Chains A and B, each alone.
Chain A
Amino acid sequence: MTEQANRLLDGPRGPKPKRVFSRRNIFLYGTLLMVTIYYAIPLYVMIVTSLKGLPEIRLGNIFSPPMEVTFEPWTKAWGEACTGLNCNGLSSYFWNSIKITVPSVIASIIIASVNGYALANWRFKGANLFFGILIFGAFIPYQVMLYPIVIMLRELGLYGDLSGLIIVHTIFGMPILTLLFRNYFTSLPEELFKAARVDGAGFWGIYFRVLLPMSLPIFTVAVILQVTGIWNDFLFGVVYTGPEAYPMTVALNNIVNTTQGVTEYNVNMAATILTALVPLVIYFVSGKLFVRGIAAGAVKG
């Protein structure tokens, strides 16, 4: 009876035929088109500005496409732009960022995945307490912990050094990554774990031979999350490294906001795109996995 009633209420089956140019559609797609253009404009402006010569920028309008395309600003931003007195462009800072990002990503993912695995499958007394502190730690403003870490790194002799910054990134990546891995490993069927136990596999055996092979997606998500996060970091870079070891974001800010000499807007924009390139490429290539990564931040434990 209720089923019949439901069917009645559902009305006719199948999608309702729609007119393409209904008022609703025009409004809907019109709004979305405008929104999309709005979001896309800054990237567009960056690109066109970086391809113009300085005289053309002075004359014209930031939205107009370049009349004469030049790649000189790009080469200049890469190799000659000045941060203060040092005019070596962004290239060395790009390599700094690579040297910071790669080890930090690897270290933080290894530590967090093993840790998440221990939390999910080998619960021990007190584990939840430490995990709780860790997650709360993710909400503490970094400013509160900046100076104590300066002292710790100084004691270790790593302050101002790339390796110090790598440790800092590993530490602050831990809450979110541990949460990510813990939730993922908890969601796997427990029978897998039990069967492996019965077959005599130990802690590391299960991790390497059972869980790792089936966790590729979550590792990819973690890599995306960490690479973009660490590459985009500014605060830790400026606090824990010296001018020689600055990551790209800090160098970019110094190049653009330097007050000496003529401001070369085209070089500035080329430098800006160069700095944004790595996360942008990751974003456009990874698609849905990127979204999964940021959604992980919103998933509750």
Chain B
Amino acid sequence: MSADRPNQLFRNMNAKVAAIPMIVTALFVFVGGTAWTIVYSFTKSGLLPRMKWVGLDQYERLWGTKRWLIAIENLAIYGLCMLVLVFVIGFILAALIDQKIRFENTIRTVILYPYAMSFVVTGLVWQWILNPEFGIQNIVRGIGWESFTFDPLYTPEIAIFGVLIAGLWQGSGLVMVLMLAGLRGIDHEVWKAARIDGIPAWKTYIFIVIPMMRPVFITTLVLVVTGIVKVFDLIVAQTGGGPGIATEVPAKYVYDMMFRNNNLGQGFAASTMMLVTVALIVIPWAILEFGGKRSND
């Protein structure tokens, strides 16, 4: 296909010039920056990066730090719950909206609008709603249930779930939209055939429709997971990592180490760990999705 397109070197000069920003970004920022951080994660950098090699010291210290372990644990809890719930909620909402309902546009608009708002805004709104003095707890007590307690943001053990509520509210609309697009992409004949065979709707969804939507699920998964690993502003705004260090997450640990505690080495090591986490998910996906196609280029 591309053979009959102009191929001579001089004719492509303009295209190459146009691609310079991309090439510079790809090489210097993405590859160069990542390599730089990884290399310096093996050094004793403090206030400023210093090329003093210390091997795996930073990593050993990292995995011996309680704050980092809590951050990892939180990310695991938040990530797992978020992943499962966002998919369940997103898919169910998409399936409900796909029932040829009225007011579809209105409903979709309302479910998706949180996604247009920043994590800072999301965090602050939910900080207010979950405020025990004025928010939900206060209202339920006002109704007459005096002993009702619901103050996740002030209880270290469950604080991360308070963040989860906000995260779900903000992000489930996105999954709903992507799932809805996936559902709409399924041939009507599939539904007809299933109905003829007398298969109940829920079974059709689980055994026929969802497997057919595999590509949509996978791309959504990659989007959701990379979003989860990056979670930062939501925490900063909603809890500031507190109470105490109960809602610390890796991204915040990195930021604090690099720009507040003058401990660059720790920041580099922690961010490299984040990179590893993402790579573990993105690389298998990339091989699955693009592995076969590469040979055609």
Contact = CB atoms under 8 A, between A and B. Distances in A.
B117 A276 contact: yes
B219 A298 contact: yes
A148 B32 contact: yes
Contacts of A272: 121, 124-125
A38 B240 CA distance: 25
Contacts of B124: 252-253, 256, 268, 272
Nearest to A10: B192
Contact of B97 (A32, A121, A134): A32
Interface residues of B, number: 102
Contacts of A294: 115, 174, 177
A148 B33 contact: yes
Contact of B21 (A128, A174, A239): A174
A92 B99 CA distance: 47
B128 A45 contact: yes
B128 A62 contact: yes
B110 A39 contact: yes
A232 B118 contact: yes
A283 B115 CA distance: 9
A234 interface: yes
> Interface of chain B, helix or strand or loop or mixed?
helix
A268 B128 contact: yes
B121 A252 contact: yes
Contact of B120 (A147, A152, A275): A275
B264 interface: yes
Contacts of A111: 21-22
12 contacts: A39-B110, A62-B129, A123-B2, A134-B25, A134-B30, A143-B254, A143-B271, A148-B29, A231-B118, A252-B120, A257-B237, A298-B220
The 6 nearest A-B residue pairs measured at CB: A232-B118, A137-B30, A122-B15, A203-B14, A148-B33, A283-B116
Interface of B: 2, 5-6, 11-12, 14-16, 18-19, 21-23, 25-34, 36-38, 40, 49, 93, 96-97, 99, 101, 105-107, 109-121, 124-129, 134-135, 138-139, 142, 169, 173-174, 177-178, 181, 192, 196, 215-216, 219-220, 222-223, 226, 229-230, 232-233, 236-237, 240, 250-251, 254-255, 258-259, 264, 267-268, 270-272, 274-275, 278, 282, 286, 289-290, 297
